[in-house]
Structure 1
Amino acid sequence: MSNVSKAYEIAKEVYAGIGVDTDQALEKLKSIKISLNCWQGDDLNGFLFQEQSQNGGIQATGNYPGKAGNCAELRQDVEKALSMIPGNHKLSLHATYTDTEEKVDLDTLEPRHFDSWIQWAKEKGVGLDFNATCFSHPMADTGFTISSADPAIRAFWIEHCKISRKIAEHMGKELNERCVTNFWFPDGYKDIPVDRVGPRMRMKTALDEVFSLPIDSRYNLDAVESKLFGIGKESYTVGSNEFCLGYAAQNHVALTLDAGHFHPTEVISDKIPTVLLFVDELLLHVSRPVRWDSDHVVIMDDELAAIAQSLIRNDLLARTNIGLDFFDASINRTAAWVIGTRNTIKALLRALLEPTEALMKLELAGDYTSRLAMLEELKSYPFAAVWDYYCEAMGVPVREAWLSEIKDYEREVQFKRG
């Protein structure tokens, strides 16, 4: 028996003392899929318009060497990351990550342009999610896309969003696993607008047209994502939290909650159980806003723990899709995936190791003293031993052993890229 297994047996006994079955918790953890954000691998440049500069509030900072320059390199990096992450997961693609040499625009993409991704996903046992790319394009240079007052601009983005749904449905059918399609729009004003209603009326009408296209819900789930403000859109955002929440609730589409898209003092952990009273499903973009939507790599902080607790304590996993959203170009990009995804899974495991039923009984009984005492004592329970065992059992590196693999990989592969 390895030292990791020995430590686990001790931890298992400790948790059993408070009524927690660690084996059962690990079995549940295996079923939770995290959707890795493809854009971490290349700073959200994509491969469709590599000559187009980023705009629409999108910015990756840093210039760490070795980023992926094409689909093959990106897939290679994703595979490396997944080899160090326990469990079976998904990859979330933006529309600009199509693998084609054809001259095609966002409004003329077809499902076949993503067939190489689908084939790769089948071979690797990876699920796919999708995102309409409504930024970093000449048709977004006015600051407005689907809510534009220009009918031609609006029509272009409506068509792109319709096509995105078709692509996602195709992915879902081919992989026999539902694809989640996210819609975020950078539309807004830098300075104070006079008309706050018109753009939102146009966005609502446009979305109604996008979602009127018949799509099989077994293979695609639509989600709308709000934002407080964007770079150059500081005074007014068309797709605000109220707009997206209202639209999702009224039209039975999923709501996307991004950890960095709210006021710096707001957190999404409390929003999760609240909005699920009114919307059918959620898509989470797990990120880390240091000041605001700065998209830092996810760490094991209090908010990540609280997000996991909201999902586990309230039994909301079945109605929640968990994705990552960060892009850090100042560190090894593959390492960023490993760090962020492992931390997200760790947080879920910690929540699964709580004696939730017992804690709720204390709460209902009004015994807040015991509730506080137990929650604090749980912080020093041997969670790490259970995590190490899970990694070993799933065939991925234990603790920081993965880091030396990353260092070898960047030296032998990534640093040799042009």
Structure 2
Amino acid sequence: MTQKEKYNLAKSIYANYGVDIDQAIHTLKHTPISIQCWQGDDVKGFYSKEALSGGISVTGNYPYKANTLEELRKDLEMVFSLVPYQHRVNLHAIYLDTQESIGLDEIEPRHFESWVKWAKKNNVKLDFNPTLFSHPMAKSGFTLSSSDETVRNFWIKHVKQSRKIASYFGEALNTDTVCNLWIPDGYKDSPYSRLSPRVRLKESLDDIYQTKLPHVKDTLESKLFGIGAESYTTGSHEFYLGYATKHHLGICLDTGHFHPTEQVSDKLSSMSLFVDHTLLHVSRPVRWDSDHVVTLNDDLIGVAEALVRDDLLKKTSIGLDYFDASINRIAAWVIGIRNTQKALLKALLEPKELLKKIELEQNYTQRLIYTEELKALPFGLVYDYICETEQKPVGIDFLKQIEAYEATMKGKRL
């Protein structure tokens, strides 16, 4: 059977459930995924030769990581060629393009002009993150909540400059740019005062966000614990949720930043009632925040279902956040993007209005039967058809192209 014939078969099956496949495809096409640049070079960036620190660790020794901006951009372009639809690229501040010797508190939009030029050429939008790790001013384990005023002021200025860069991206690319803040602050052992660092963090945030910037969606990212901050994390979920709600900022939910028994999918509906904007960092924790390549597992499907069933896609940004050096890095990107798209498509191919009606009527028998039967429907055939119509490799065919691309790196990259 051709892909078209398989698609028509799937379309007839879904029609029996009252599902409009064309509408589902349209929605998926207009749901971009922000691709994390740091997967390509193991979060090293191009700012300094500082070793990774601040709770950041990359495992694996697969060869051929990007060593220059040119290589990183070429790798991202390869990713674009293997996944359907247009997406975004998420940058950290340490991916600036300059030969100047400058402090992170001095970075400006001009240091990212080449990224904007590249984004326009490739028809992608950009998101941004200040970088508060792998830096001498973060070696104490504290940044915005440091008891050292000099350290706090350095990082306050860095985040302010980062927000200006995000605003520049938004204006230049005619978009709203997500500017997400994560800090590594915390204690390895139990603190005497849990309040004091949070008072300092609040004061730092008050300074940073006193001015709204055009084209910027500010988000705050919490974490349960980190390496070197196992006992106490200043930027907890409760702290940031309270601050964001009060100050009309967005919240970032990283799927690896919570207790293994917590479901991020269950947080989305509650937060949507009180938070203006949600950013999802899609990752795969294995026992802890270990940033594995995203697979099509129950957690990912649950997040997609929560977004689609309650119409939360329009107020949610979706990005990837993992850095796996145990396999081909481009394959890691492509697998994560495709699986995130498949999870969204699977959720979009549910008869949403019918299921809501059944639930309102309290017919829980029908609800269970429908939701269980839907799990086995051929959403994969629909995704394959999307790939073919978008002239992207179908199924495992992208592996051949990745292997061919990798062959060109031998003798040129470490």
TM-score scaled to structure 2, two decimals?
0.99
Cα separation, partners in 2 of 1:415 and 1:337, compared to 1, 3 Å: farther
Give the CA deviation at 1:415. 5.7
Q: Matched residues in 1 for 2:76 and 2:105: separation? A: 27
In 2, distance between residues paired with 1:415 and 1:366?
Answer: 64
Which of 189, 195, 198 in structure 1 is aligned with 2:196?
198
Report whether the alignment pairs 1:226 with 2:222. Answer: yes
Q: Deviations over 1:289-311 (max 9, x none)?
A: 01110000000000100100000
Residues in 2 aligned to 1:382 and 1:142: alpha-carbon distance in whole angstroms: 52
In the alignment, what sits opposite 1:88?
Answer: 86
| Equivalent residue number for residue 11 of structure 2 | 12
- The question of 1:384 aligning with 2:380 is answered yes
Question: Distance in 2 between the 1:136 and 1:229 partners?
Answer: 17
AA of the residue aligned to 1:60: V
The DSSP-based 3-state class of the residue aligned with 1:54 is: coil
Hey, what's the Cα distance between the residues in 2 that align with 1:60 and 1:364?
A: 47
Over 3 Å counting, the alpha-carbon distance change for 1:222 and 1:415 in structure 2 is farther
- Map 1:9-408; keep pairs closer than 5 Å: 9-49=8-48, 51-216=49-214, 219-408=215-404
Q: Secondary structure at the match of 2:104?
A: coil
| Paired amino acid for 1:124 | N
Task: Give 1:21 shift.
Answer: 1.0
Alpha-carbon separation, structure 1, partners of 2:135 and 2:400: 39
Unaligned runs of 5+ in 2: none
Shift of 1:63: 1.1
1:250 and 1:292 map into 2 onto residues whose CA distance is 30
Superposed CA deviations along residues 10-63 of structure 1, whole A, max 9, x for unmatched, are 1111111111011111111110000000110011010101x2011110000011
Residues in 1 aligned to 2:212 and 2:320: alpha-carbon distance in whole angstroms? 28
Contact 1:65 1:414 in 2 (8 A): no
Report the CA distance between 1:105 and its aligned residue. 1.5
Cα distance, 1:414 vs. partner?
A: 5.9
| Distance (whole Å) between structure 2 residues aligned to residue 214 and residue 349 of structure 1 | 35
Name the CA shift for 1:190/1:319 in 2 (closer, same or farther; >3 Å): same
Identity among equivalent pairs (%): 55
How many residue pairs get aligned? The number is 414
Displacement after TM superposition at 1:214 (Å): 4.0
The SS at the match of 1:392 is helix
Please give the secondary structure, in 2, of the residue aligned with 1:283: strand
CA distance in 1, matches of 2:108, 2:289: 32
TM-superposed CA distance for 1:251, in Å, is 0.5
1:412 pairs with 2:411: no
Name the SS for the 2:13 alignment partner.
helix
Inter-partner Cα distance in structure 2 for 1:213 and 1:279: 19
Q: Deviation digits for residues 61-93 of structure 1, max 9, x if unmatched? A: 011100000111000000001111111100000
Residue 141 of structure 1 and its aligned partner are, at CA, apart by: 0.4
- Kept in 2, the 8 Å contact 1:98–1:114? The answer is yes
**Cα distance between partner residues in 2 of 1:410 and 1:178:** 34
SS in 1 for 2:300: helix
In structure 2, C-alpha distance between the alignment counterparts of 1:414 and 1:324, rounded to whole Å:
28
Q: Does the CA contact (< 8 Å) of 1:95 and 1:132 recur in 2?
A: yes
Q: Deviations over 1:381-410 (max 9, x none)?
A: 111111111111111100000001000101
Q: Which amino acid aligns with 1:19?
A: G
The letter for the 2-side match of 1:5 is K
Mapped to 1, the partners of 2:310 and 2:348 lie a distance apart of 11
**SS of residue paired to 1:270:** helix
Over residues 174-209 of structure 1, what are the superposed CA-to-partner deviations in whole Å (9 max), with x where a residue is unaligned?
A: 001111000001001000101111110110110110
Q: State how far apart, in whole Å, the 1-side matches of 2:74 and 2:268 are.
A: 34
- The one-letter amino acid paired with 1:317 is L
Give the counterpart letter for 2:312 in structure 1: L
Alpha-carbon distance change, 330 to 188 in structure 1, aligned in 2, over 3 angstroms: same
